[in-house]
Amino acid sequence: MPYAKSYDGTKIFYIAQGDGEKVIIFVHGLGESHETWVEQIRYFSSKYKVVALDLRGHGRSEIPKKRIEMSDFAEDVLAVLKAENVEKAHFVGYSMGALVVLETYKKAKEKFKTLTLEAFLPAYPPAQTEVLMNMSMDEIARQVAEFAVAPTAPKELKDDIYRIISQTDKEMYIESAEAATSKTYDPVLLEIEHPTLLIYGEFDFIAPPEAGKGVSNRIKNSKLVVFNTGHMPHREDAERFNKELEQFIIENESSS
């Protein structure tokens, strides 16, 4: 299994499937891993080169020696791009992963063809550190599995979300939550020059569609799509997500 070394030596696990000339990079959300993109990896790897990483402290990646900052996550992404000799790619980020994509854009916009930002806020309220400290990781994972999806989501999906989240180290989860809520990305939105697809869920109370409209107003070349889902459109309606993303990439590949 491939690993890349980030700027500080932290080992970053990733998967790379498919051998197409066009590359899609998938960046997961808080407490997750590359496994959240299972349906996207399956769908796109027959047509594109698909790369999905585990951010530091998540999945199979190494727990870092220093406290996590958002810039570290961006460096993890860049390390994987370097390891795979990727010059340009289509970037897809979910929730916290969307912030990581924006952080990466700040550092290396020349690497971007397009951005797809799913279910995120450019600025989050402070992390509930004290509450999280008094919960077990099992309790956190069960809570996330319930509130991250629409009430109608199948139990099998909730069970899989729980499985992924519950494997995360609690200290890493809290550090990541604190990092993600420590700054605003509003200024970055105004700087985006590349085509951007925004995907939100109608029943998402974490990042509601109204927030998506505000984000769309700040990004000059953006398209907003609202799904009949909760906070995880890529899991709750993978078929539509994949089709929307593929059409967006096709429409913008020639001009990027």
Q: Give the pLDDT of residue 22.
A: 93
Using alpha carbons, select from 192, 228, 237 the residue that is nearest to residue 98: 192
Model's pTM, two decimal places?
A: 0.97
How many structural domains compose the chain? Answer: 1
Q: Is residue 146 part of a domain?
A: no
Q: Is residue 140 part of a domain?
A: no
Q: Residue 91: which domain range?
A: 3-123+184-253
Q: Is residue 171 part of a domain?
A: no
pLDDT over 90 percentage in the chain: 96
At residue 255, does pLDDT exceed 70? no
Which pLDDT tens digit goes with each residue over 103-146?
Answer: 999 999 999 999 999 999 999 999 899 999 999 999 999 999 99
- Measured at the CA of 99, the angle between CA 140 and CA 10, to 5 degrees, comes to 75
Q: Is residue 142 part of a domain?
A: no
What CATH number has the domain bearing residue 98? Answer: 3.40.50.1820
Q: Is residue 70 part of a domain?
A: yes
